[in-house]
A and B are shown apart, each in its own frame.
Chain A
Amino acid sequence: MLSLYTFLLFFLSLSGLLHAKSSDGDSVLILVEESHKKDFSLFYEDLKEHGYNLTFRAPKDEKPSVVDFDVPAFSHIVILASESKNFAKDITPQSLVELLSGGTNLLIGLSAKQTPLTSLASEFSLILPPPATPLISFFPERKDPPSVIPINAPASSLIISPNTSPIWFSGVPFVLGSNPLLVPILNAPAESFAADSEGGPDVLVDATERGGEGLWAGSQLSVASGFQTTNGARVTWLGGVDMLSDKFFKKDVSKGVKSGNARFARDIAAWTFQESLVLRLDSTTHHLVNSTIPQEQYTTNDNLVFTAHISRFHPRTATWEPYSGIKDMQLEFTMLDPHIRTALPAVAGSPGTYSTTFRAPDRHGVFKFVVDYKRQGWTHLQSSTTVALVPPRHDGYPRFLSAAWPYYAGAISTSVAFFIFSAAWLAGESREGKKAKGSKAQ
């Protein structure tokens, strides 16, 4: 239900400065309980500053619905209601997965309480600890409770900006499965472990007696992880929504050093909402080496040229610009198995163009030019162009081979000798005839 407050926010967003825009759309639905809505105001401000239109909804409300007549109504959905056990009928794990298939990006927060979203997390190869076991760490020494933990940002990460201050976290960790579509963002500190908030040290003692078995601990645990579906939609799972709250945005990590939560929130919003690390395969062409026209069929052993054009989205200017920074792209020339797998390097002097030349294999058949570029964090690039490879025509084989000149000499000499023989034979006959006539005349 759109209240006056929401309308004000809407108009504020329109007048806000556009610092960065998503490549996917601007409408964001935020699912948050009424009681907690004002806890994330700085996060909302940041989103609006970057050009997003926010719509708020309590989990139990029916409107605004996420799907209108089978069309997703919002480009992005943020679920900050991490502790709600009851959602409206149109928010179920199945409906969220369908939204992902439709291209909606999701940012989902988990909590120590079991919710319907907990079962959804396991579908994304996230293994959650037992219920009511948040992440606890007794290091570094601080005045805060052990469940509020500052996590150092990773030294090098595609998603988190460099030199980000430590990030305050409070919530549950999870273990990442072996799904290649997962994109780890932030791991738990090495000294942290998952346990009840009350009996922290006892858990450690028990675990030591058992040899460390069954203890959820260490930097293998992740607190924020992304997942990129095969059709390009992005989901980010956060172990706790307090990372995005105003309280943690303003909290100091140490004397005078602000927390990195604001920067972290901006970074994961940028990745999840398709602003950063977004690539696009604009077009591909193929042709013979000394031609520019693509053909439907080529002959075996032809020299073929394949060219791809790739752009990257720049959120500051909201434009797609040619991008030549991919160093490890490959091209496969495939018929059931790749017969040729070669590098597709960028062409110097032509931004965004990647090209390679290769010799078509000696086998005829229906082949595909396949570009399949999947790297963690980046958009998946996939393209497949089908082309026929035919054997040479009867007059397409090489002729006048140097290995065959004895045979050419033999055949030609036989023909020449035959002509000389015939000429000599007929001349001899006419001479014999004259002689016979001459002798007859006598």
Chain B
Amino acid sequence: MPPKPATAPAPSSAVQSLWKAYNDQTPDRLKFIDAFLVFLMLSGIVQFAYCVLVTTFPYNAFLSGFGSTVGQFVLTASLRSQVNPQNKNEFKDVSPERAFADFAIGSIVLHFFVFNFLG
């Protein structure tokens, strides 16, 4: 097997080194959660941009849709921090299964309120 090139290319910017470190060091499960978080953030940005640029009517629908993304983001972020193996010391009495169960129940309640307010 030909030897790997000894010198790896030096990172040209902080962002690239951040991205490389993230890619290398983050477990796949957490990356999956992060993908979900990115999707929620994009969805929230799109709705907010529509509200600001086009119209605030109907306001209740905006609040409900935007609140749905923000609330889901918060729940998913807390799931990520509870499930992250590096935080095991912080969450001694919360098993990953318990964290996911909390996440699921919270999300279902959130969606109930969202669809009620959506009009």
Contact = CB atoms under 8 A, between A and B. Distances in A.
Interface in A369-426: 397, 399, 401, 403-404, 406-411, 413-415, 417-418, 421-422, 424-426
Which of under 10, 10 to 19, 20 to 34, or 35 or more describes the interface residues of A? 20 to 34
B29 A428 contact: yes
Interface string B27-68: 001001100100110011011001000010110011011101
Contacts of B69: 410, 414
B58 A401 contact: yes
B58 A403 contact: yes
B115 interface: yes
Contacts of A397: 119
B77 to A, nearest CB: 13
Given A397-B119, A404-B58, A406-B47, A411 B29 contact: no
Contacts, number: 82
Nearest to A401: B58
A109 B114 CA distance: 83
B36 A411 contact: no
Contacts of B40: 414, 417
A398 B111 CA distance: 22
A424 B115 contact: no
A410 B65 contact: yes
Given A414-B40, A414-B68, A408 B61 contact: yes
A432 B28 CA distance: 11
B72 interface: yes
A349 B39 CA distance: 65
Nearest to B69: A414
B22 to A, nearest CB: 19
A414 B118 contact: no
The 8 closest A-B pairs by CB, nearest first: A407-B65, A404-B61, A410-B65, A407-B61, A411-B68, A406-B50, A411-B65, A414-B68
Interface of B: 29, 32-33, 36, 39-40, 43-44, 46-47, 50, 55, 57-58, 61-62, 64-66, 68-69, 72, 76, 96-97, 100, 104, 107, 111, 114-115, 118-119
